[in-house]
Amino acid sequence: MYKVTIIGSGYVGLVTAVCLADIGHQAIGYDIDRQKIKTLRDGRIPFYEPDLAEMFKKNLSAGRLTFTASFDDAMAEADLVFICVGTPAKADGSSDMGAYFKVIGAIKDHLKKTSNALPVVINKSTVPLGTARHVNTVIKNISIVSNPEFLREGKAVADFTRPDRIVLGFKDKSEPAVKILLNLYRSYRCPKLVTNWETAEMIKYAANAFLATKISFINEIANTCERVGADVQTVATGIGYDPRIGRQFLRPGIGYGGSCFPKDVRALQWLSLKKRYHFKLLRAVIEVNSQQRQLAVQKITQALGGSLSGRRIAVLGLAFKPETDDIRESAAIEIIKNLLASGARVKAYDPVAAKNSRQALKGKLNFSIAKSAMSAVTGAGLMFLATEWPEFLALDWAQVKKAMKGTWVVDGRNVLPRPELERQGLHYVGFGV
């Protein structure tokens, strides 16, 4: 058992703390936000993530999981220190490392005044290539490990407890920290890739950039399908059978969002430019993703006869994906802003992201949030599906048809049962079909 300190009790930090506590380690979560620490100590999680609450409460009650707003208390007797703070994108695409380097400075100051054994410091935060090597020059007497996270929001507990792989980057593969980290993760039966710092850091960026590329690629295929009479759904199925391609991330629509893909793709593009290399493919990936959001507004406008002024539109889904309340870089939020700017009246519904969305769209005229999907569609001239929550796929389409004033349904995720909608007299508009 290790005494593990997790710095940053946000999405990555809390999931890391809870899951490590669940396999028997003593985990202490630290955050500068005292209100967040109080919330956690009171047994409440400040965001929505399936399966996390039960595991959180179990380990909190067992005493394996604790929280503090005192940095020195968090660091006391720690064997391992995970850095899990945000590295948001700046306007130029580079990563804002302000919070990260504040942590590094605090660790350095703490080590100056302690005689305890030096901990191993582990980067879970997504950081630019060369960060671990730079930290090694700032704090020379500790082991720095690059251990990127691959958590999907909505499936984070499963991803942490049953990972596809664990990536570990070290200065030297023979250093003692290698055995420590392999021992920490010994119960996880998956490939464990031990490499150098820069390679580990690049693996995270490369993975997200590749997945984003698949999404933009299938969207370009969809846009071409619309012009030649092909069905992108069948095309995606056909190419997905090829094991070299795979079926995942081949669903066309309004593109990717969230806290990772947009940020990491831009960061990798920025890094390449900094090193005097123009990563042309990533520029196209970003442009296509932006284009899909504009295309959604065009499809909605065309369905409603060319003008949105005064038209009532129901938007189902506000989170950037199902099973999360995260609206960061959400396509739904951006599309709603564009619809409102064109004079539309929007009533939206999301089962968990309403609170965050109210804040993001605060002050917007002609926007409201409904308490149910049926409330949102009632009286609407058009329904737009933005997030593929399971409850939206199970709607009673006869009742939807009866509640709406219009008959148009624009499917931003290509998941709705088109034959059933059309059987009920609704007009279906998808992407690439």
DSSP 419: H
User: Is there a domain that residue 201 lies in?
Assistant: no
Answer yes or no: is 282 within a domain.
yes
Burial class (CB in 10 A: 0-12, 13-18, 19+), 115: exposed
Active site residue 260: yes
Split into its structural domains, the chain has a count of: 2
Q: Can you tell me the mean pLDDT for 317-326?
A: 97
Q: How confident is the model at residue 118 (pLDDT cuts 50, 70, 90)?
A: confident
Strand segments (E) across 329-411:
345-349, 367-369, 382-385, 408-411
Question: Given this model, what pLDDT does residue 77 score?
Answer: 87
Q: Are residues 245 and 179 in the same domain?
A: no
Cβ contact 177:13 at 8 Å: no
| Main-chain phi, psi angles of 345, to 5 degrees | -110, 120
SS3 211: helix
Output 77 or 144, whichever has higher pLDDT.
Answer: 144
345 pLDDT band, cuts 50/70/90, is very high
Q: Are residues 215 and 163 in the same domain?
A: no
State whether 162 and 99 are in the same domain: yes
C-alpha to C-alpha distance for 99 and 105, rounded to whole angstroms:
10
In a domain, 199, yes or no: no
Q: Same domain for 152 and 290?
A: no
Taking Cα atoms as reference points, which of 51, 49, 69, 57 lies closest to residue 21?
57
307 plus 176 within the same structural domain: no
Mean pLDDT calculated for residue range 380-388:
99
Q: What percent of the chain has pLDDT over 90?
A: 97
Q: Is the pTM of this model over 0.85?
A: yes
The reply to whether 174 and 242 lie within a common domain is: no
Catalytic residue from among 19, 84, 225, 260: 260
pLDDT digits 0-9 by tens, 21-30: 999 999 999 9
In a domain, 203, yes or no: no
Question: Is residue 99 domain-shared with residue 159, that is, in the same domain?
Answer: yes
Query: Residue 279 pLDDT > 90, yes or no?
Result: yes
216 located within any domain: yes
Whether residues 264 and 180 fall in one domain: no
Q: Whole-number mean pLDDT of the chain?
A: 97
Q: Does residue 179 share a domain with residue 234?
A: no
- Stretch 333-362: mean pLDDT, rounded? 97
Task: Quickly state the pLDDT bin for 115 (edges 50, 70, 90).
Answer: confident
pLDDT grade for 116, boundaries at 50, 70 and 90: confident
pLDDT tens digits, 309-318: 999 999 999 9
* Same structural domain, 152 and 292: no
Give the domain-ending residue among 161, 190, 219: 190
Classify residue 41: in a domain, yes or no: yes
Pair (183, 233) in one structural domain: no
Which residues span the domain enclosing 276? 209-429
One domain, residues 171 and 311 = no
Judge whether 412 and 346 are in contact, CB under 8 Å. Answer: no
Please check whether residue 195 lies inside any domain of the structure. Answer: no
* CATH assignment at residue 115: 3.40.50.720
Sheet harboring 80-83: ordered strands across? 65-68, 26-30, 3-7, 80-83, 120-123, 143-146, 166-170, 192-196
Query: Is residue 197 one of the residues assigned to a domain?
Result: no
As a whole number, mean pLDDT of residues 199-205 equals: 98
User: Does residue 113 register a pLDDT over 90?
Assistant: no
Taking only the tens place, the pLDDT of each residue in 216-244 is 999 999 999 999 999 999 999 999 999 99
Residue 102 CA neighbour count, 13 Å, CB half: 13
